[in-house]
Chains A and B, each alone.
Chain A
Amino acid sequence: MNNISDLNQINTEKLFHAKMTYGQLFLFNIGNNTYVFRPLTVKELESVRSLVNVVNECFVEDWIVQQCYVYGTQNIEYLLNKEKCFITKTLSVKILERSNIPDENSLVQNFNKSRELANTIQETFESFISKAFPVISPSEVKDLTTIQQINLAAKAEVLLGTTLNIGKPNVREHLKKYRFREGAEVLGVDDIVSPEVADKFE
């Protein structure tokens, strides 16, 4: 992992903002220079695809680099005018490649990763709150603080009449190791006699 050593306050804020907005950033180390780019959005990608055969290749490359530039030890004007010409080309190609889902296998892989993420408590909160308050999109829920999310989730439970199912049901597996004598009466252990466990215990 490379450190970006000369980041000032403004660039740090830009970097954080871009990370929050686009989720993924690409850091290139080229010669003595470091550049950070964001991926193209789906809308931008579709525009590039539809215009790539009618617009001068050079302009498309410049456009991609200009759109996605987040930070650099050299500014965007340098990159578009003074940087070695094929570096800009390489950058645009790499940004394009990484903004795209190249084949079905990668798509399935990415989708499976998203499925795993969707099972986390955070993702459950986002979906649940969005379901109860349709004006808030899951990505907007991310803009809230954890406490705000918890409060909203509680309100969402009331609105939807559903209890949020967080974590695994408590089946208390450790109790299954116990061998009870036939006819034995267990007293004073709420944990064991709770309906949740009792009906599962033999």
Chain B
Amino acid sequence: MTPELKDKIDKLKSEGHAVFAITISGVKYYYRSINRQEYRALQNSLLKTAESLKGTKPDAEISIMVKDSGEEDLVKIGLIAPPITDNSPAGVLSSLSDLIMEASGFGSEAEPEVL
């Protein structure tokens, strides 16, 4: 890990993000959790994309496009290093998107205690 990357990770941690590392196809990726503010902005942007495409394509096609775009945007926010390139293996983006969601509390089954 380079000193620059270490500084970046330390800064992200101090801002309250959870930082993780995973090796996919021999490459070590560093990624972080997405907070609610970032997620809200992402949702708004996807909503605008969906609205702008309305009527130009069938709804099912729009839905797939928005989902793909959502995955890509999520990785753009959550991936710290190294960046995804054209030569990255095909499944990396999708895997990282799932990992970032998990890191952001997706699938959390917190059951409340009734007071």
Contact string, B90-106, partner A, CB cutoff 8 A, digits 1/0?
00000000000101111
A158→B39 CA distance, assembly (Å): 63
Within the complex, the shortest CB–CB distance from B109 to chain A, in Å, comes to: 8
A86→B104 CA distance, assembly (Å): 6
- Is A86's CB under 8 angstroms from B47's CB? no
B75 at the interface (CB under 8 A from A): no
Given A84-B18, A85-B105, A98-B112, is A79 in contact with B47 using a C-beta cutoff of 8 Å? no
A98→B105 CA distance, assembly (Å): 20
- Is B34's CB under 8 angstroms from A94's CB? no
- Is A57's CB under 8 angstroms from B113's CB? no
- Is B110's CB under 8 angstroms from A82's CB? no
Task: Mark out the residues of chain A between 3 and 26 whose CB falls within 8 Å of any chain B CB in the assembled complex.
Answer: 19, 24-26
A151 contact set on B, CB distance < 8 A:
none
Least CB separation from A30: chain B residue = B110
- Is B35's CB under 8 angstroms from A85's CB? yes
Contact string, B22-41, partner A, CB cutoff 8 A, digits 1/0?
00000000000111111110
Within the complex, the shortest CB–CB distance from B104 to chain A, in Å, comes to: 5
A25→B101 CA distance, assembly (Å): 28
Q: Which 4 A-B pairs have the closest CB atoms?
A: A85-B39, A26-B112, A86-B105, A84-B105
- Is B115's CB under 8 angstroms from A82's CB? no
A197 at the interface (CB under 8 A from B): no
Count of chain B residues with Cβ under 8 Å from any Cβ of A? 27
- Is A62's CB under 8 angstroms from B114's CB? no
Contact check: which of B33, B35, B39 meets A58 at CB < 8 Å? B39
- Is A86's CB under 8 angstroms from B108's CB? yes
Which of A82, A85, A89: most chain B Cβ within 10 A? A85
Which of B35, B44, B103, B111: most chain A Cβ within 10 A? B35
22 pairs of residues in contact across A and B, judged by CB atoms under 8 Å:
A19-B115, A25-B114, A26-B112, A26-B114, A27-B112, A27-B114, A27-B115, A29-B113, A30-B108, A36-B115, A56-B44, A62-B36, A82-B36, A82-B37, A84-B103, A84-B104, A85-B33, A85-B39, A85-B104, A86-B101, A89-B105, A94-B110
- Is B36's CB under 8 angstroms from A85's CB? yes
- Is A28's CB under 8 angstroms from B115's CB? no
A85→B35 CA distance, assembly (Å): 5
A1 at the interface (CB under 8 A from B): yes
Within the complex, the shortest CB–CB distance from A16 to chain B, in Å, comes to: 11
Within the complex, the shortest CB–CB distance from B66 to chain A, in Å, comes to: 13
- Is A28's CB under 8 angstroms from B112's CB? yes
A30→B101 CA distance, assembly (Å): 16
A19 contact set on B, CB distance < 8 A:
115
A26→B39 CA distance, assembly (Å): 25
A44 contact set on B, CB distance < 8 A:
none
Least CB separation from A61: chain B residue = B36
A80 at the interface (CB under 8 A from B): yes
Given A30-B108, A82-B37, A98-B112, is A58 in contact with B43 using a C-beta cutoff of 8 Å? yes
